[in-house]
């Protein structure tokens, strides 16, 4: 089983739709969780961190479910500019030491008119 | 502007010809790392460095070398490139060793390497 798994998609949604992605992780000791966004052939950029209590940033909501070992990303009112690949990132190290990030392979979102 | 700079951005080379991909950051970050990205495999860590003169292997270090003689620079060296090293390479840096909400990776723009 992969350490971090994502549905590769693509998710094709019309503008204005709500779309959600999940990401599962296998190591219950995972410490920190992030969503990164990657545009085609460009560098990944941090979209948001995922906190235990869940967090929201504008149209984006991230949630963590430790019991089921997954994180989710919800995008409301999708825009054309949201078209990208969304990478789930998990740390598998101990707090306070050199943590290693593990990246999912990404979920591709295509927002259409 | 705070950034991670990689060079070259694009390179086509031949098997066995040594090459170096440079990486420099201007944010005084302690942690630096190299990744390669291949279709269907995602980003895989090659080497990382927690500080000057401190480097360690990531998941796929075979065929690569690194050095960290100065805080700002972390070059990736391919002593004898082979076609299976054709990939998109990213350098990244972070303020510290642990990762938390405030301590996240900043990536360079990527270097697309083709080995014939």
Confidence check: pLDDT of B78 > 50: yes
| pLDDT at res. A98 | 46
Residue B103's pLDDT band, with cuts at 50, 70 and 90, is low
Sign of the dihedral through C-alpha B29, B33, B37, B40 = negative
Q: Which residue is associated with the tokens 């219950």?
A: A28
| pLDDT at res. B13 | 95
Confidence check: pLDDT of B104 > 90: no
Contact A100 B41 (CB under 8 A): no
Best interface-test mutation with B: which of A6, A34, A43, A102 has the largest number of B CBs within 10 A?
A43
Please enumerate in sequence order all residues whose Cβ is within 8 A of that of B11, keeping only pairs 6 or more positions apart, or say none: B19, B21, B111, B112, B113, B114
Interface of A with B in 19-38 (CB under 8 A): 31-32, 34
Name the nearest CA neighbour of B42 among A46, A47, A36, A62. Answer: A36
Contact B107 A44 (CB under 8 A): yes
Question: Minimal Cα–Cα distance from B45 to chain A, Å?
Answer: 8
Confidence check: pLDDT of B101 > 60: no
| pLDDT at res. B4 | 96
Give the mean model confidence (pLDDT) for residues B9-25: 96
- Residue B109 near residue B9 (C-beta atoms within 8 A): yes
Smallest Cβ–Cβ distance between A99 and the set B40, B88, B99 belongs to B99
Q: Which residue is associated with the tokens 């014939």?
A: B116
Beginning with the edge strand found earlier in the chain, give each strand of the sheet holding A55-57 in spatial order: A4-6, A19-25, A70-75, A60-65, A55-57
**Average pLDDT for chain B:** 92
Instruction: Give the B-side interface with A, CB within 8 Å.
Output: 31, 35, 40-45, 48, 50, 56, 58, 88, 90, 97-101, 104-105, 107-110, 112
Please enumerate in sequence order all residues whose Cβ is within 8 A of that of B35, keeping only pairs 6 or more positions apart, or say none: A103, B43, B44, B45, B46, B58, B89, B90, B91, B92
Residue A100 with chain B: CB contacts under 8 Å: 45, 48, 58
| pLDDT at res. A32 | 85
Nearest CA in chain A to B5: A43
| pLDDT at res. A53 | 87
Name the nearest CA neighbour of A42 among B60, B47, B28, B6. Answer: B6
Burial bucket for residue A16 (CB in 10 Å: 0-12, 13-18, 19+): exposed
Contact B105 A101 (CB under 8 A): yes
**Residues in a beta bridge with A64:** A71
Please enumerate in sequence order all residues whose Cβ is within 8 A of that of A108, keeping only pairs 6 or more positions apart, or say none: A8, A9, A10, A11, A84, A85, A86
Per-residue pLDDT of chain A (113 residues; tens, 9 = 90+): 778 999 999 999 999 999 999 999 998 888 889 999 999 989 999 999 898 888 999 999 999 999 999 999 999 999 999 999 999 998 875 544 445 778 999 999 999 99
Distance from C-alpha of A83 to C-alpha of A102, rounded to nearest angstrom: 23
Give the mean model confidence (pLDDT) for residues B91-116: 83
Residue A96 with chain B: CB contacts under 8 Å: 98
Q: Is A54 helix (H, G, I), strand (E, B) or coil?
A: coil
| Residues B34-70: tens digit of each pLDDT | 999 998 888 999 999 989 999 999 889 999 999 999 9
- Residue B37 near residue B88 (C-beta atoms within 8 A): yes
């Amino acid at each position: 089983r992969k350490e971090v798994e994502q549905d590769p998609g693509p998710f094709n949604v019309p503008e204005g739709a709500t779309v959600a992605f999940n990401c599962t992780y296998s190591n219950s000791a995972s410490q920190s969780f992030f969503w990164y966004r990657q545009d085609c052939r460009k560098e990944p950029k941090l979209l948001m961190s995922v906190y235990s209590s869940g967090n929201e940033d504008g149209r984006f909501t991230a949630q963590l479910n430790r019991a089921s070992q997954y994180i989710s990303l919800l995008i409301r009112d999708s825009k054309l500019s949201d078209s990208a690949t969304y990478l789930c990132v998990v740390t598998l190290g101990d707090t306070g030491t050199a943590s290693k990030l593990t990246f999912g392979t990404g979920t591709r979102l295509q927002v259409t008119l | 502007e705070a950034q991670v700079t990689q060079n070259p951005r694009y390179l086509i080379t031949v098997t066995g010809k040594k090459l170096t991909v440079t990486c420099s950051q201007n944010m005084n970050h302690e942690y630096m790392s190299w990744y390669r990205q291949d279709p269907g495999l995602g980003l895989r860590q090659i080497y990382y460095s927690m500080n000057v003169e401190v480097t360690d292997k990531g998941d796929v270090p075979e065929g690569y070398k690194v050095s960290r003689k100065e805080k700002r620079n972390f070059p990736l060296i391919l002593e004898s490139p082979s076609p299976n090293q054709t990939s998109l390479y990213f350098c990244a840096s972070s303020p510290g060793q642990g990762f938390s909400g405030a301590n996240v990776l900043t990536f360079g723009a990527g270097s697309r390497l083709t080995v014939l």
